[in-house]
Amino acid sequence: MAKPDPGLVFAGSSTVAASTRRLPSRIVQALVQRWRILHALGFEPLSATPRHPSAMSTKTPIRVAVTGAAGQIGYSLLPRIASGDVFGADQPIILQMVEIPVEKAMQALEGVAMELDDCAFPLLHGMELTSDPNEGFKDANWCLLVGSKPRGPGMERGDLIRENGPIFTGQGMAINDNAASDVRVAVVGNPCNTNCLIAMNSAHDVPDERFSAMTRLDQNRAQAQLAARADVATTAVCNTLIWGNHSATQVPDYKNTTIDGRSAAEVIGDLDWLQGDFFKTVQQRGAAIIKARGLSSATSAANGLIDHVRDLVNATPEGEWRSVCVPSDGSYGVSEGLISSFPVRSMGDGSWEIVQGLELDEFLRGRLEATVAELEEERELVSDLLVNAG
């Protein structure tokens, strides 16, 4: 009996094969059909097939699963992962791209994969396209959970909670059962803090500290606003800090953020602006983009995720921190177990710590309490989804 075509990746019933993307679709269908028959007859599915066998890196490829890979953020994110922006210029990657089992989404995903192929990225050693999270997360070292519904005009991110929350139960379980033993998870799909909490609680065997959610976009937004106001380059703004929820209650910290080494509050010298326009602009930036584009942020969100993961896999320079939503240990009065944005230092070996000892003024303390109260409310709203909650 003929062996299945090398390079034909079988990854679930509604999946198309990664290496068949250049072929006309009727041939693709025929190959998929043939593979299904072979599979039914006992052939095991193939894992990702090396696409660049002659690539020079001697490192073992890492597997990066991305959900919502055919969506807006996915479109900006995937080429940057494949080009080495996250894991380094010598780290080969296998992309495991997960979408919903709907023909339109899978077809769009096929198109995304064709474009990635057409970039001939030397580091991209394989692609798997699937609608089955168990396949998608198989042996994944990183799972980037983007796939979910974005909000529309007039909505708050929290309004998505009952619709998007259940996605993260199934995905948490699939990560638990299939991912690599060193898996790390970053959640972007909104409301990302509470979705991360759901995924973490659904992945019983994965240590909690492997889960994070993204406020790096908010950090970058705040950094850009402060730089513009102080009329300095963005590089002059350091340790830009967001506390709490990725929502309209988030707390951009003007006190501990520095501009040219001094507190941003001191350099800007205008507390009314910092507590007023600055706060509002950062908190409402997502809504402003939705209003302007008719769609939520995508390029900047993908860029935020690139920064988020890259900074977690590398050691944070001495004296610096990054805004990362991680499980609270009770630091700064944030209820234990909530996924909240904190100043975080990465050790570069996969571990991280919450930076201690920062001081907040009365205004910032009050705002931190409010954003924590919102996170508690969100946790309450999804208590039925927190299957492993203590």
Residue 289 site contact among ligand LMR, ligand NAD, none (CB < 5 to 8 Å, cut-off depends on kind): ligand LMR
217 is an interface residue for ligand LMR by CB under 6 A: yes
Among 96, 169, 178, 190, binds ligand LMR (CB under 6 A): 190
Which of these is catalytic: 39, 52, 204, 246?
246
Helices 192-202 + 362-381 axis angle, to 10: 50
Among 157, 308, 310, 345, binds ligand LMR (CB under 6 A): 157
Q: Cβ distance 70 to 148 under 8 Å?
A: no
**Min dist. Cβ of residue 282 to ligand LMR (A):** 10
**Min dist. Cβ of residue 170 to ligand LMR (A):** 22
| Rounded Cα–Cα distance for residues 312 and 92 (Å) | 18
Q: Cβ distance 196 to 339 under 8 Å?
A: yes
246 catalytic, yes or no? Answer: yes
- Closest CB to ligand NAD among residues 4, 311: 311
167 is an interface residue for ligand LMR by CB under 6 A: no
**Min dist. Cβ of residue 293 to ligand NAD (A):** 10
- Closest CB to ligand NAD among residues 151, 184: 151
Residues in touch with ligand NAD (CB under 6 A): 67-68, 70-73, 98-100, 105, 146-151, 167, 188-190, 192, 214, 217, 246, 296-298, 301, 304
Helices 72-82 + 299-313 axis angle, to 10: 40
Which of 65, 82, 71, 176 lies closest to 129 in space, CA to CA? 65
Q: Tokens at residue 238, please?
A: 């350091």
Residue 345 site contact among ligand NAD, ligand LMR, none (CB < 5 to 8 Å, cut-off depends on kind): none
**Min dist. Cβ of residue 157 to ligand LMR (A):** 5
Contacts of 309 (CB under 8 A, 6+ apart): 86, 87, 142, 144, 186
- Closest CB to ligand NAD among residues 73, 386: 73
SS (H, E, C) 188-209: CCCCHHHHHHHHHHHCCCCCHH
**Min dist. Cβ of residue 16 to ligand NAD (A):** 15
Among 21, 125, 138, 151, binds ligand LMR (CB under 6 A): 151
Residue 289 half-sphere exposure toward CB, CA atoms < 13 A: 18
Residue 262 half-sphere exposure toward CB, CA atoms < 13 A: 6
Residue 67 site contact among ligand NAD, ligand LMR, none (CB < 5 to 8 Å, cut-off depends on kind): ligand NAD
Residue showing tokens 């042996």? 139
Q: Tokens at residue 372, please?
A: 């924590």
Helices 362-381 + 161-178 axis angle, to 10: 80
- Closest CB to ligand LMR among residues 123, 144: 144
Q: Tokens at residue 248, please?
A: 């309209």
**Min dist. Cβ of residue 216 to ligand LMR (A):** 11
Residue 147 site contact among ligand NAD, ligand LMR, none (CB < 5 to 8 Å, cut-off depends on kind): ligand NAD
- Closest CB to ligand LMR among residues 59, 293: 293
What sign for the dihedral angle of Cα 111, 115, 117, 121?
Answer: negative
Cα angle, residue 381 at apex, residues 388 and 386 outer, rounded to 5°: 10
Stretch that binds ligand LMR, among 32-40, 149-157, 166-174, 317-325 (CB under 6 A): 149-157
Q: Which residues of 214-223 are buried (b: 16+ CB within 10 A; e: fewer)?
A: bbbbbbbbbb
**Which one-letter DSSP state was computed for residue 244?**
B
- Closest CB to ligand NAD among residues 46, 214: 214
216 is an interface residue for ligand LMR by CB under 6 A: no
Catalytic residues: 246
> What residues line the site for ligand LMR (CB under 6 A)?
150-151, 157, 190, 217, 286-287, 289, 296-297, 301
